[in-house]
Structure 1
């Protein structure tokens, strides 16, 4: 007897479930101000207490990016109220993302400039995608977005100097240049028509922070008291993501060859032993890392300029990790308020169930939930998008 084919996974529906859960459990107005949105850094959490918790600018930037992902799916489904991830009675993902950018600015002392260039680079990338979404949905352009890009581009120009031979400083201390800042700034330059600047940054990464033996990009470099360049050899999963994105955005034979090799190195070295599931890096900032990597692996998975083996590897890494996160989810469960019922929580680690990493009663960090949402959006993007040339 022939067994019927399994029903195809609906990654859009799964991504919508993650989007609803994050926005409803963590999302709120800033100080109850209309036209604003911001995410609490943990759940459950009292509204006013969130103002006294540590401020995580770059977590909010990735929240913007996740909402843009949802908005692009809404656009693909007709951009009607019925297509909205949270139903027709709620704002579109794009509108919520715009409110979030307003909330970030107000919470950040009425400015989008802060002390860390990598933080600002992530927001610049997210708002650039938000602007493109607005254009494609034929919504009027926001002057705010143009001001954001002008302000942040000036920041990146000032941080991308010839010190240490090139690269972008990590912070306003200007004593350390690293992949976390240089890679997203390079990607931002590449996406905004500044290819020469982007290529110079990528060339510096290749010359200074690429580990030939492992095929991956290490953390950063600084000058010691003797004036010698000293590198930090730690390898972080998320750093490989924006490098991959910049290589793909710039294109050309050399960059694309490096992109294919980078996918292969990620598959061989950054997975859970014996599985094709990407490793995760705990809570705090590390709670975002695997989601960021998957965002850019999804681009590689549908890029026809790459060899089929690289595309297939990228797709397998994303979908296996997404499947693991989905399989390990748990409902909000006992102890949740009636308003929080019906939503899901995701594990800190894709290879472990949420019941283990976030048992009932545990405080759940925003970063880890954004990570799972990003991974599910990456899987949905691969499922929706044909290969591109």
Structure 2
């Protein structure tokens, strides 16, 4: 069931969003909206980190159901990211670069150029951690989390642990166990906004470093505060369209790596969210059109955004990894 839903999400997004870049043969990226505006038709509207997650979904699909055609699409997609980014893998945002690095590493690519950027973003100011973007004074979970996961996956455990310890000591609410957004270094102000994104990347970091107690605490906090009725809460369109999907990815890993009862709680959150997401989808060219709020039916205005559709695809691929043989 979940595998079929993930395949349907893939077909829908490929049909509606994947197009050549600047009409150049052999290129392909995801248009940022559907139906596309004039600038989205030519990929003028450029969301580097949305494309990184779309690439990650293509890799998920290839692992679920390998085909030569999709492998070729992944190759074209990687080359097209670099082309559209004017010949570079990097940009000014360390969270963006970490996400692309994670996808590239999963695709078996060399990520040294991105790792070098992330290493250089660490400073002792504010107690440690890396910056959110160049020439900025903000350090946050959205940059430190994916960077820590990437460092851990390439064997740079010491740096990954430094980033984990900074997040754990600085950004975790002692009352709820939820992860706050970030720290404004110059005045020491904690930005205590709660995003599903931050819970996801912190949980992923915990799992990569086998920090079981912190992972268990995070799963419990998510279940209590971020999933009314057992469905992960959405956070609108734009960048927020990806947030719950990111959390679902790492909850699925938690379901496979944590003991009961938290492993079972994580599994229930992923599968319950997947069922709600699928039930709320509407029909559109190519397949289902997903809502930005999985507990409510589509379409809504935010459903136009590639981020919202990729966030749902992330969720359904995560659910597919947990599917039992009889499902």
C-alpha contact (below 8 Å) 2:31/2:40 kept by paired residues: no
Count of residue pairs the alignment pairs up = 325
CA deviation map 1:235-263 (0-9, x unaligned): 11111112111111111xxx111101110
**1:279 match:** 233
Residue 105 of structure 1: how far off its partner (Å): 1.1
Task: Look up the SS of the partner of 1:233 in the other structure.
Answer: strand
Structure 2 stretches lacking a partner, 5+ long: none
Structure number with the bigger relative contact order (C-alpha 8 A, sep ≥ 6) is 2
For residues 282 and 193 of structure 1, what CA distance do their matches in structure 2 show? 35
Distance 1:102 1:297 in 2: 30
Aligned partner of 1:319 among 268, 271, 277: 271
Contact in 2 for aligned 1:44/1:363 (Cα 8 Å): no
| Residue equivalent to 1:4 | none
User: Secondary structure of the residue that 2:261 maps to in structure 1?
Assistant: helix
Q: Distance in 2 between matches of 1:348 and 1:124?
A: 26
1:22-171 alignment, distance < 5 Å: 22-45=13-36, 49-51=40-42, 53-74=44-65, 79=66, 91-92=69-70, 94-131=71-108, 145-146=109-110, 149-171=111-133
Deviation at 1:52, TM superposition (A): 6.3
The alignment's TM-score, normalised by the length of structure 2, stands at: 0.95
**Post-superposition CA distance 1:175-222 (Å, at most 9, x none):** 111111001100100000001110011001111111111101111112
| Root-mean-square deviation (Å) | 1.7
Q: Which residue of 2 aligns with 1:140?
A: none
Larger mean CA deviation between 50-59 and 370-379 belongs to 50-59
In the TM superposition, 1:204-219 aligns within 5 A as: 204-219=166-181
Distance 1:277 1:80 in 2: 32
1:242 aligns with 2:242: no
Q: Determine the C-alpha separation between the residues in 1 that align with 2:16 and 2:168.
A: 41
1:381 aligns with 2:325: no
Give secondary structure in 1 for the equivalent of 2:46. Answer: coil
**Residue in structure 2 matching 1:351, options 295, 316, 326:** 295
Larger-gyration structure (1/2): 1
Matched, 1:298 2:261: no
